[in-house]
C-alpha cells in the first residue's frame, strides 16, 4: 500500500462552510433566559473583561449618529468581536431618545446582531435593551465588589437617576449578596423617583428608603453612589460633597466635573474608550493635558495589579464595551437554543448560489 503525503505546494482543503440559520429572539425570550441568572452573568462579565485585557477581543470605537434637528438624541453602533470559547462577532445598535420618557415609553431601544465566526453571516437578531441594561448592571455589581475588597463594604447606597438602569443595578447588587441599611434616591423627575421608591418597596427590602430633595444630600448620605442619568455634561462640581470617600459607580459618565475626577482614585473599563466623547475623565484629560489621574482598569484591579487606596473617593467610569453585550447576547442565544425556543426565519438568506 502506498501512502501519499501532501507537500507544502499542495493546497490544503478547508472544511466546507454552511450558512447558519437566522433567528430572531424577542425581548420576552431575552428576559426569560436572563431571569434569576445574576450570579452567572456577573461571572460572565468578569470572564469577558479578562479576555479583553488579554487581547482576545476586538472592540473598535463606538460610532455616534447624531441629529441636528434632535440634539439630545443619538443612535450608537458598538461593533465587537470575542475570542475564547464564545468566538462570536457582532454589533449593538442602541438609540437614546430622552424625550421618549415624557411620552411614557423608555428612553433607550436596541437590537444586537450576532455574526458567525467562520462565515461572517448574521445568525441572530436579539432585542437588546434588556441585554444592555443587564451587562451594565452586572459590570456595576462586579466593580462594587472588587473595589470594596480593601475597605468596609458600604451599607448606604444612593441612586442619582432612578430609571431602568438604576432598577437593574439594585437588582444585581441584591442578587449577588449586597444588603443595605439605607437606600437614597434623587431624580429631577419626582414621578420617576416615586416609581423607583415603589419598586424598592415591592422588593421587600428592609432598608430605609429616602427620597432626597437635593443632590448634595444624596451624595453626602451615601457610601456607595450610583450615577445613572442622561446628563450630557457635568452637573456635580463640588469635591467637598465626596469628602467621606464613597465608592462612585459613574455609569452615566458625564455627571462629574473634572475637579471631582482629579480629587479621586479613578478606575475605568477601558482607557482609550473612556477618554473620548467628552466623558468626565475625558474632560479631566483635556484640563490637565495628561492621564496621570487614571489609576487603572477594572481588569487591573481584578488581577491585583492595582489596589485602590482607602483615603480617597473611588470613581468607576465604565464606557460600556461592546464585547460585554456580545457575551451576554451569546449566552441568551445559547440558552434559547438549548430550550428549543429559537424562532428561525426560514430562507432569510435566500439567493445563495454564486452564479444564479
Q: Which three cell numbers stand for residue 118?
A: 467562520
Give the other-Cβ count within 10 Å of 38's Cβ. Answer: 21
Q: Under 8 Å CB-to-CB from 99, ≥6 apart: which residues? A: 72, 73
- Whichever domain contains 180, its CATH number is 3.40.50.720
Do the domain assignments include residue 152? Answer: yes
* Alpha-helical segments (H) within 20-91: 27-34, 38-53
Do the domain assignments include residue 351? Answer: no
Contact criterion met (CB below 8 Å) for 327 and 82: yes
Rounded to whole angstroms, the Cα distance separating 183 from 206 reads 10
Contact criterion met (CB below 8 Å) for 213 and 234: no
Do the domain assignments include residue 6? Answer: no
Q: Are residues 293 and 234 in the same domain?
A: yes
- Confidence at residue 5, expressed as pLDDT on a 0 to 100 scale: 37
Do the domain assignments include residue 138? Answer: no
Rounded to whole angstroms, the Cα distance separating 150 from 356 reads 65
Do the domain assignments include residue 204? Answer: yes
Q: Are residues 92 and 177 in the same domain?
A: no
- Residues spanned by the domain of 236: 143-317
Going by C-alpha positions, the residue among 268, 336, 285, 332 that lies closest to residue 111 is 332
Do the domain assignments include residue 35? Answer: yes
SS3 content of the chain, % helix, strand, coil (to 5): 35, 25, 40
Q: Are residues 330 and 308 in the same domain?
A: no
Q: Are residues 208 and 252 in the same domain?
A: yes
Contact criterion met (CB below 8 Å) for 63 and 92: no
**Eight-state DSSP code of residue 241:** G
Number of domains in the chain: 2
Q: Are residues 94 and 153 in the same domain?
A: no
Going by C-alpha positions, the residue among 252, 238, 87, 283 that lies closest to residue 166 is 252
Rounded to whole angstroms, the Cα distance separating 236 from 248 reads 13
Backbone φ, ψ for residue 285 (5° rounding): -65, -40
Rounded to whole angstroms, the Cα distance separating 20 from 224 reads 45
- Whichever domain contains 103, its CATH number is 3.30.1780.10
Do the domain assignments include residue 10? Answer: no
Give tens-digit pLDDT for 96-141: 998 998 888 888 899 999 999 999 999 999 999 999 999 999 999 9
Do the domain assignments include residue 13? Answer: no
- Confidence at residue 16, expressed as pLDDT on a 0 to 100 scale: 67
Q: Are residues 149 and 244 in the same domain?
A: yes
**Eight-state DSSP code of residue 121:** -
Q: Are residues 221 and 247 in the same domain?
A: yes
Cα–Cα distances (Å) from 249 to 76, 81, 130, 271, in that order, read 22, 26, 20, 16
pLDDT tens, residue order, the chain (356 aa) = 333 333 344 444 456 678 999 999 999 999 999 999 999 999 999 999 999 999 999 999 999 999 999 999 999 999 999 998 889 999 999 999 989 988 888 888 999 999 999 999 999 999 999 999 999 999 999 999 999 999 999 999 999 999 999 999 999 999 999 999 999 999 999 889 999 999 999 999 999 999 999 999 999 999 999 999 989 899 999 999 999 999 999 999 999 999 999 999 999 999 999 999 899 999 999 999 999 999 999 999 999 999 999 899 999 999 999 999 999 999 999 999 999 999 999 999 988 888 86
Amino acid at each position: 500500500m502506498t501512502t501519499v503525503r501532501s507537500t507544502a505546494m499542495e493546497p490544503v482543503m478547508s472544511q466546507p462552510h454552511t450558512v447558519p440559520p437566522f433567528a430572531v429572539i424577542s425581548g420576552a425570550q431575552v428576559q426569560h433566559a436572563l431571569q434569576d441568572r445574576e450570579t452567572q452573568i456577573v461571572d460572565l462579565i468578569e470572564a469577558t473583561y479578562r479576555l479583553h485585557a488579554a487581547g482576545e477581543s476586538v472592540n473598535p470605537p463606538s460610532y455616534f449618529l447624531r441629529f441636528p434637528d434632535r440634539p439630545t438624541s443619538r443612535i450608537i453602533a458598538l461593533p465587537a468581536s470575542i475570542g475564547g470559547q464564545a468566538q462570536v462577532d457582532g454589533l449593538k445598535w442602541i438609540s437614546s431618545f430622552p424625550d421618549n420618557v415624557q411620552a411614557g415609553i423608555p428612553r433607550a431601544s436596541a437590537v444586537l446582531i450576532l455574526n458567525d465566526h467562520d462565515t461572517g453571516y448574521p445568525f441572530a437578531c436579539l432585542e437588546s435593551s434588556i441585554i444592555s441594561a443587564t451587562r451594565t448592571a452586572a459590570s456595576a455589581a462586579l466593580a462594587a465588589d472588587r473595589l470594596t475588597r480593601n475597605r468596609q463594604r458600604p451599607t448606604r447606597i444612593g441612586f442619582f437617576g432612578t430609571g431602568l438602569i438604576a432598577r437593574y443595578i439594585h437588582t444585581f447588587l441584591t442578587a449577588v449578596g449586597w444588603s443595605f441599611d439605607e437606600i437614597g434616591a434623587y431624580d429631577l423627575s419626582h414621578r420617576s423617583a416615586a416609581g423607583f421608591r415603589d419598586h424598592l418597596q415591592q422588593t421587600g427590602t428592609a432598608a430605609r428608603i429616602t427620597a432626597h430633595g437635593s443632590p448634595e444630600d444624596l451624595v453626602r448620605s451615601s457610601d456607595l453612589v450610583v450615577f445613572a442619568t442622561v446628563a450630557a455634561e457635568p452637573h456635580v462640581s463640588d469635591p467637598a460633597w465626596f469628602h467621606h470617600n464613597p465608592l462612585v459607580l459613574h455609569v452615566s459618565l458625564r455627571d462629574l466635573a473634572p475637579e471631582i475626577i482629579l480629587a479621586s482614585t479613578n478606575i475605568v473599563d477601558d482607557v482609550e474608550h473612556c477618554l473620548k466623547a467628552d466623558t468626565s475623565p475625558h474632560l479631566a484629560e483635556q484640563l490637565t493635558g495628561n492621564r496621570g489621574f487614571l489609576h487603572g482598569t477594572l481588569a487591573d484591579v481584578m488581577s491585583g495589579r492595582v489596589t485602590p487606596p482607602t483615603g480617597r473617593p473611588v470613581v468607576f467610569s465604565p464606557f460600556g464595551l461592546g464585547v460585554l453585550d456580545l457575551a451576554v447576547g451569546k449566552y441568551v442565544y445559547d440558552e434559547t437554543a438549548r430550550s428549543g425556543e429559537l424562532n428561525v426565519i426560514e430562507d432569510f438568506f435566500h439567493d445563495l448560489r454564486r452564479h444564479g
